[in-house]
């Protein structure tokens, strides 16, 4: 498993260089960032060199298609997808992710039909470039009732949806926070095959009742109450070998310099990896 960082948890980053070098400095092997933007800013060779010289790969890109809104928005975003996928592929990245809000103002069944068709098309385009699509189920209770109609938020529902989408390159983005807020345990991970997991997010939860854990109330790995040792060792046990990327969503920007936050992230990873019996 590759240790990874996203921008969420590092405060204000000034440049791609800073982000990638910080990741390398603190022992991370992957970063989640916009591959196409990186190439636009540095050229293809520059981007490759920046990553390679720091020994860092891109963990995953975000899906540049808004599939949750109007057909018009979907069509606008779809125009960007092939280029974004080609950019990711040119930098060796093979994963693209999106999250599923657990409720919606649209009629739930109808929205599920629309979203199934839209994500199938996205998966096909990504697949043409050797890229997999990871779907992130989102567990925090407050979001389940945030919009008028419940949608889906459980692991099983997401697996069933992946079956309905019906493309071989679709799997899970498995986030520790959503595993926790769904009150799942190691055995739920161990029931999976590794290829069902496209990408992993790691972060921790404050010591509040699970039903009160807010989506943007996350803390650094090892600083909260999630059984991250169990999370990581289960992933390792089933043979997952991809990135485990930190994503700290918080209401306010974290205090401190990016360097100090990256260092804090490393300390968190060290702690929970050790607890899991990994390197």
267: left (phi over 0), alpha (psi -120 to 50) or beta: alpha
**Interactions with a copy of itself, residue window 156-175 (CB under 8 A):** 157, 160-161, 163-164, 166-168
Asked if residue 128 binds a copy of itself (CB under 8 A), the reply is yes
Draw the binding track, 216-235, toward a copy of itself (x: CB under 8 A; -: no contact). Answer: --------------------
Alpha helices in 2-56 (DSSP H): 16-25, 35-53
By CB under 8 A, the residues from 16 to 55 that bind a copy of itself are none
Handedness of CA 163, 164, 166, 169 (dihedral sign): negative
Q: How far is 31 from 46, CA to CA, in rounded Å?
A: 16
Cα-based distances in Å from 38 to 20, 31, 88: 11, 12, 10
Whether residue 171 contacts residue 135, with contact meaning beta carbons closer than 8 Å, is answered with: yes
* Parallel, antiparallel or unpaired: strands 103-104 and 149-150: antiparallel
Q: Does 74 bind a copy of itself (CB under 8 A)?
A: yes
State the minimum distance, in angstroms, from the CB of residue 246 to a copy of itself.
Answer: 26
Q: Rule CB under 8 A: is residue 66 a binding residue for a copy of itself?
A: no
| Among 45, 109, 207, 255, interactor with a copy of itself by CB under 8 A | 109
CB closer to a copy of itself out of 90 and 250: 90
Instruction: Please count the residues of this chain forming the interface with a copy of itself, following the rule CB under 8 A.
Output: 42
Helix (H, G, I), strand (E, B) or coil at 175: strand
Rounded to whole angstroms, the Cα distance separating 134 from 206 reads 26
Output the six-digit token pair for 22.
């910080």
User: To the nearest whole angstrom, how small is the minimum distance from the Cβ of residue 249 to a copy of itself?
Assistant: 23
One symbol per residue from 180 to 209: x for binding a copy of itself (CB under 8 A), - otherwise; what is it?
A: -------------x-x--------------
Residue 141 or 266 having the CB closest to a copy of itself: 141
The answer to whether 121 contacts a copy of itself (rule: CB under 8 A) is yes
Interface with a copy of itself includes 81 (CB under 8 A)? yes
Cα–Cα dist 127/130, whole Å:
5
Cα–Cα distance between 43 and 102 in angstroms, integer?
38
Give the residue with the Cβ less far from a copy of itself, 2 or 112.
Answer: 112
Indicate whether 127 belongs to the interface with a copy of itself (CB under 8 A).
yes
3-state DSSP assignment of residue 104: strand
**Binding span for a copy of itself by CB under 8 A among 2-10, 150-158, 197-205, 211-219:** 150-158
243 strand-pairing partners: 2
Nearest distance from C-beta of residue 66 to a copy of itself, angstroms: 13
Whole-number Å distance between alpha carbons of 202 and 232: 9
Residues within the interface to a copy of itself (CB under 8 A): 74-75, 78-79, 81-83, 86, 89, 107-114, 116-118, 120-121, 124-125, 127-129, 149-152, 157, 160-161, 163-164, 166-168, 193, 195, 239
């Amino acid at each position: 498993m590759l240790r990874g960082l996203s921008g969420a948890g590092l405060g204000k980053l000034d440049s791609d260089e800073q982000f990638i070098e910080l990741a390398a400095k603190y022992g991370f092997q992957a970063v989640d960032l916009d591959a196409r933007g990186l190439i636009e800013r540095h050229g293809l060779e520059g981007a490759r060199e920046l990553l390679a010289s720091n020994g860092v790969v891109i963990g995953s890109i975000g899906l540049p298609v808004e599939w949750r809104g109007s057909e018009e928005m979907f069509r606008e975003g779809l125009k960007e997808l092939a280029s974004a996928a080609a950019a990711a592929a040119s930098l060796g990245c093979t994963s693209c992710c999106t999250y599923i809000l657990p409720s919606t103002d649209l009629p739930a069944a109808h929205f599920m039909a629309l979203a199934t068709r839209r994500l199938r098309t996205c998966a096909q385009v990504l697949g043409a470039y050797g890229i997999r699509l990871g779907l992130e189920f989102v567990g925090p209770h407050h979001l389940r009732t945030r919009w008028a109609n419940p949608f889906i938020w459980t692991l099983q529902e997401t697996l069933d949806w992946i079956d309905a989408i019906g493309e071989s390159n679709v799997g899970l983005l498995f986030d520790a926070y959503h595993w926790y807020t769904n009150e799942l345990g190691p055995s739920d991970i161990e029931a999976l095959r590794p290829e069902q997991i496209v990408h992993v997010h790691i972060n921790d939860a404050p010591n509040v009742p699970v039903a009160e854990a807010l989506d943007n109330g996350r803390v650094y790995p090892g600083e909260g109450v999630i059984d991250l040792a169990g999370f990581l060792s289960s992933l390792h046990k089933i043979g997952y070998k991809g990135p485990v990327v930190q994503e700290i969503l918080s209401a306010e920007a974290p205090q401190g310099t990016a360097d100090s936050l990256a260092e804090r992230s490393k300390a968190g990873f060290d702690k929970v990896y050790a607890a899991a019996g990994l390197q």
